[in-house]
Amino acid sequence: MKILVTGFDPFGGEKINPAIESVKRLPEVIGGAQIVKLEIPTVVHQSLAVIREAIRKEDPDMILSIGQAGGRPDITVERVGINIDDCRIADNAGNQPVDEPIYPEGPDAYFVTLPIKAMVKAMQEAGIPASVSNSAGTFVCNHVTYGVRYLIETEFPGKRSGFIHIPYLPSQAATKKGMPSMELDTIVKGLTVAIEAMIEHQEDVKITGGTIC
Amino acid sequence: MKILVTGFDPFGGEKINPAIESVKRLPEVIGGAQIVKLEIPTVVHQSLAVIREAIRKEDPDMILSIGQAGGRPDITVERVGINIDDCRIADNAGNQPVDEPIYPEGPDAYFVTLPIKAMVKAMQEAGIPASVSNSAGTFVCNHVTYGVRYLIETEFPGKRSGFIHIPYLPSQAATKKGMPSMELDTIVKGLTVAIEAMIEHQEDVKITGGTIC
Amino acid sequence: MKILVTGFDPFGGEKINPAIESVKRLPEVIGGAQIVKLEIPTVVHQSLAVIREAIRKEDPDMILSIGQAGGRPDITVERVGINIDDCRIADNAGNQPVDEPIYPEGPDAYFVTLPIKAMVKAMQEAGIPASVSNSAGTFVCNHVTYGVRYLIETEFPGKRSGFIHIPYLPSQAATKKGMPSMELDTIVKGLTVAIEAMIEHQEDVKITGGTIC
Amino acid sequence: MKILVTGFDPFGGEKINPAIESVKRLPEVIGGAQIVKLEIPTVVHQSLAVIREAIRKEDPDMILSIGQAGGRPDITVERVGINIDDCRIADNAGNQPVDEPIYPEGPDAYFVTLPIKAMVKAMQEAGIPASVSNSAGTFVCNHVTYGVRYLIETEFPGKRSGFIHIPYLPSQAATKKGMPSMELDTIVKGLTVAIEAMIEHQEDVKITGGTIC
């Protein structure tokens, strides 16, 4: 089995992005699966073009993308990507689309096709704060959550994909006010057990991870 | 023009639900449109059955549903409903589905078809805290956000629908710790100007309401 | 009985301060006590000079000061004022002291001498969100909380004093992101029942209002 | 130079307390000073009795106490302890005082006598999220913040003391909802540089660490 794991480069004035840093530090093999690591630009569409090229070249079974969610206290596994770009800040190429569909011909949203509850459960059992998230935002992270699944539906049938958001590093939070953080080693450990759960669970487990609103 | 506005009954141990209370206090006519008010049960599927009956009987042009979002500080206009029930608490009939689709044959999600940015802008300009929300949760509020649009797509073509979440009332927050609240009069005023914006804007305005994640 | 109630003028870029607005709207008589209203400048020491002059002229039995606490969701009754000015922003006269004592010869702190638990209880029973706060910050609100008690200890023995923080108004929160608010009428009602409790309770009631940290 | 560093045992249903765990892992010598480590019970007065005994036996120059602040995202250096016990939960011996003075004959509060701004600055420069806190709560942490200074004033003149609150560990946060955390290694590193700053700075640095309210 082969898993493509992508991480964004720094954006929004940050000098480092824990997403690509944690991806770089993942083992080469997890649960018997080969891990292919890919840095992607924090740019709408260009991020997807880079992933598409890697899927063509590597033919992975699953694609997992990692992004930074500054302000969240735990590792969050996204449930859904929505067909909209609505950017409060510009991406790394200066694009700032407002309420534009990612793929005009695509459906309104796609659920991720990874076992999100099993991934959360595995991280919690390993002592790592984790939860399901019902919104990946409307910036490049959501763009990739939705877009990779769109690529799969239109060009690479049968593959599974999903997205994990990670907190700031302590060094990033140290320059801000009241921001939670997580050590890179903890993030890497969390992603590793989450990937193990992805491999182990063809079907997701039934545990509530819902919110009232 | 006719607008059906629905409000949930109390749930989760509360004796009052500001949703139905605010709906009851709306004017009979807003912006020249007739307002038809409907109380719905906080119960999966039954809530939709009641709305479907009312759509059949009243043939409204738009359907706006109102729900309580305890903990949110402002009035939030939802952007999307997703095809999942994942309930952390039981609904008023004791149902607690976990990760079950609302309509197995439906798409993963539907965007609401109301001018959400114009509605938020109208409320803010009236001095009422408001914002766009990218998740209606996974309980009965999301159930109705998704479900009404599903009914429209399958049975009532051409109608538009959407969902607004409102905060706790002060009297509810007074018995909790650190919870924000909003007066019923303020909520009613907010819903009124939001409905005026629904009537006025066939197309939504382009203003960023996005979040990074 | 006579009660001096003070409210700050606008600061920090705001055009309105709910503190002085709510004080202006208080009844002239509450629980048989005469209410004397006083606007004070959001300026270190000058605020206290204005209060001192009013105490001399009016000879009130109690002094209650009201200040805006942007970001807090409920009405908070302060427990203690500390002998320090540590200002993150400049006051209305451009002063920005950092870690300077308010009165170099004063003790490190003074507890307020009003029945804070009874005041919180009265507001909660009236359906108004309220709680005890253990920090009035280190800006002009804390300055007055500490300073008025210092004036009492050194010049006006036997009088009682305290401080209440109130949230943003909805119109203020409408221009910010994710801020809780409270209607002016609700604030006025809360202050009124809190003042009734001040008059009624010579001794405070024993109810836990504590926090673990 | 000799520094007594105390850490609480587990309380409030937790099986572990990062306070004593981090204290145990501190180096034996920091910045040339000998570190004396002491576990103290999460019990009012008994905690202080154990510290008093250790001060008598060890005659340290400074006393630094460490406590867990579940829910805070960063390491917080306390500015002040207040002369009150107001416990929302019982301590480890079942005591739950409400609004009782710690020492009836003591003043309302004591500022800590460590260079709190220099300690925060040192941690931030080491890439560790840290800030000044203006309230140590009203439970056993505040009890010790106030009480140790009272012991110094009444029995051990010339010594300096203070208090640092630390976040939950990831393993604790993993079993809770939406709680921030910090790795034990990061906490130990933070405490170490904070202690270095305590040794280096006889006088505190002038940097604003204040809050508006």
How do residues B42-59 score in pLDDT, each as one tens digit? 999 999 999 999 999 999
Short-list D196, D99, D192, D111, CA closest to D152: D111
- Identify whether the C-beta of residue A7 lies closer than 8 Å to the C-beta of residue A141: no
| The pLDDT of residue B213 | 66
The catalytic residue positions of A are 78, 141, 165
Crossing angle of helices B46-58 and B140-154, rounded to 10°:
40
C-alpha–C-alpha distance, residues C59 and C123, integer Å: 27
pLDDT digits (tens, 9 = 90+) for A16-32: 999 999 999 999 999 99
- Identify whether the C-beta of residue A62 lies closer than 8 Å to the C-beta of residue A160: yes
pLDDT mean over A189-200 = 98
Under DSSP, the state recorded for A71 is T
Q: Are strands B33-40 and B2-8 parallel, antiparallel or unpaired?
A: parallel
Comparing alpha-carbon positions, the chain D residue that sits nearest to A173 is D129
pLDDT above 90: residue C42: yes
Comparing alpha-carbon positions, the chain A residue that sits nearest to B140 is A212
Q: For residue C194, list chain B residues with Cβ-Cβ distance below 8 A.
A: none
* Domain ranges (residues) in chain D: 2-200
C-alpha–C-alpha distance, residues A152 and C68, integer Å: 53
Nearest to C213 among D79, D141, D208 (CB): D141
Nearest to C174 among B128, B171, B181 (CB): B128
pLDDT mean over B189-195 = 98
- Identify whether the C-beta of residue C201 lies closer than 8 Å to the C-beta of residue B95: no
ipTM of the complex: 0.95
For each of chain D's 213 residues, which pLDDT tens digit applies?
999 999 999 998 889 999 999 999 999 999 999 999 999 999 999 999 999 999 999 999 999 999 999 999 999 999 999 999 999 999 999 999 999 999 999 999 999 999 999 999 999 999 999 999 999 999 999 999 999 999 999 999 999 999 999 999 999 999 999 999 999 999 999 999 999 999 999 889 988 877 876
Nearest CA of chain B to the CA of C150: how many Å?
31
List, in order, residues 6 or more apart from D185 with CB less than 8 Å away. Answer: A183
Partner chains of B (3+ C-beta pairs under 8 Å) = A, C
C→B interface, C-beta within 8 Å = 73-74, 123-124, 126-131, 170-171, 173-183, 185-186
Comparing alpha-carbon positions, the chain B residue that sits nearest to C189 is B170
Q: For residue D180, list chain A residues with Cβ-Cβ distance below 8 A.
A: 73, 180-181
| The pLDDT of residue C212 | 74
Partner chains of D (3+ C-beta pairs under 8 Å) = A, C
Short-list B197, B133, B204, CA closest to B165: B133
pLDDT digits (tens, 9 = 90+) for A71-100: 999 999 999 999 999 999 999 999 999 999
Short-list A41, A5, A16, CA closest to A190: A5
pLDDT mean over A47-72 = 98
Q: How many Cβ contacts (< 8 angstroms) between chains A and D?
A: 67
CA-CA distances (angstroms) from residue C152 to C49, C56, C61, C199? 13, 11, 11, 18
CB contact under 8 A, A213 and B139: yes
C-alpha–C-alpha distance, residues B70 and B52, integer Å: 27
| DSSP-assigned letters across all residues of chain C | -EEEEEEEPP-TT-S--HHHHHHHTS-SEETTEEEEEEEE-SSTTHHHHHHHHHHHHH--SEEEEEEE-TT-SSEEEE-EEES-EE-SS--TTS---EEE-SSTTS-SEEE--S-HHHHHHHHHHTT--EEEES---SSHHHHHHHHHHHHHHHTSTT-EEEEEEEPBPHHHHTTSSS--B--HHHHHHHHHHHHHHHHH-SS----------
C-alpha–C-alpha distance, residues A46 and A42, integer Å: 8
Q: Give chain D's radius of gyration (CA, Å).
A: 16
| DSSP-assigned letters across all residues of B66-107 | EEE-TT-SSEEEE-EEES-EE-SS--TTS---EEE-SSTTS-
Comparing alpha-carbon positions, the chain C residue that sits nearest to B126 is C171
Share the mean pLDDT of chain A. Answer: 96
pLDDT digits (tens, 9 = 90+) for C133-158: 999 999 999 999 999 999 999 999 99
Taking the CB of residue B209, how many other CB atoms lie within 10 A of it?
A: 20
C-alpha–C-alpha distance, residues D85 and D78, integer Å: 17
pLDDT above 80: residue C210: no
CB contact under 8 A, D110 and C111: no
CB contact under 8 A, D129 and A173: yes
Is B201 noted as a catalytic residue in this protein?
A: no
Q: For residue C130, list chain B residues with Cβ-Cβ distance below 8 A.
A: 174
Query: What phi and psi values does residue C80 have, to the nearest 5 degrees?
Result: -155, 145
C-alpha–C-alpha distance, residues C95 and C190, integer Å: 32
| The pLDDT of residue D209 | 77
The H or E element that residue D99 is part of is strand D98-100
Q: For residue C213, list chain D residues with Cβ-Cβ distance below 8 A.
A: 67-70, 72, 136-137, 139, 141-142, 165
pLDDT above 80: residue B206: yes
- Identify whether the C-beta of residue A129 lies closer than 8 Å to the C-beta of residue A74: yes
Is B141 noted as a catalytic residue in this protein?
A: yes
- The pLDDT-based confidence of C206 (bands split at 50, 70, 90) is confident
| The pLDDT of residue C130 | 98
Share the mean pLDDT of chain C. Answer: 96
The H or E element that residue A184 is part of is helix A184-200
CATH 3.40.50.300 assigned to domain D2-200? The reply is no
Nearest to D212 among C89, C211, C213 (CB): C89
Is D21 noted as a catalytic residue in this protein?
A: no
CB contact under 8 A, A206 and B98: yes
* Dihedral sign, Cα of residue D128, residue C138, residue C199, residue C129: negative
Crossing angle of helices C46-58 and C140-154, rounded to 10°:
40
A→D interface, C-beta within 8 Å = 73-74, 123-124, 126-131, 170-171, 173-183, 185-186
According to DSSP, the residues that pair with D67 across neighbouring strands are: D165
* Dihedral sign, Cα of residue B22, residue B28, residue B32, residue B36: positive
Q: For residue D137, list chain C residues with Cβ-Cβ distance below 8 A.
A: 134, 210-213
Helix (H), strand (E) counts: chain B = 6, 11
| The pLDDT of residue D202 | 86
User: Residues B45, B87, B143, B165: which is the catalytic one?
Assistant: B165
Test mutation, A123, A179, A183, A193, chain D, max D CBs within 10 A: A183
List, in order, residues 6 or more apart from B183 with CB less than 8 Å away. Answer: B169, B170, C183, C185, C186
CB contact under 8 A, D174 and A131: no
What is the CA C166 to chain-centroid distance, rounded?
8
C-alpha–C-alpha distance, residues B164 and A86, integer Å: 19
pLDDT above 90: residue B108: yes
CB contact under 8 A, D171 and A123: no
CA-CA distances (angstroms) from residue C41 to A40, B49, C16, C83, C172? 54, 59, 13, 19, 20
Higher pLDDT, D13 or A144: A144
Query: What phi and psi values does residue D69 have, to the nearest 5 degrees?
Result: -120, 80
Angle, alpha carbons A186-A75-B139 (nearest 5°): 155
pLDDT above 80: residue B212: no
| The pLDDT of residue D3 | 98
pLDDT mean over B62-84 = 98
pLDDT above 70: residue B185: yes
pLDDT mean over A54-72 = 98
- The pLDDT-based confidence of C190 (bands split at 50, 70, 90) is very high
Q: Residue D34: helix, strand or coil by DSSP?
A: strand
**Residue found by looking up tokens 């802008």 in the block:** B121
**Amino acid (one-letter) located at A27:** P
According to DSSP, the residues that pair with B38 across neighbouring strands are: B6
The catalytic residue positions of C are 78, 141, 165
| The pLDDT of residue A213 | 66
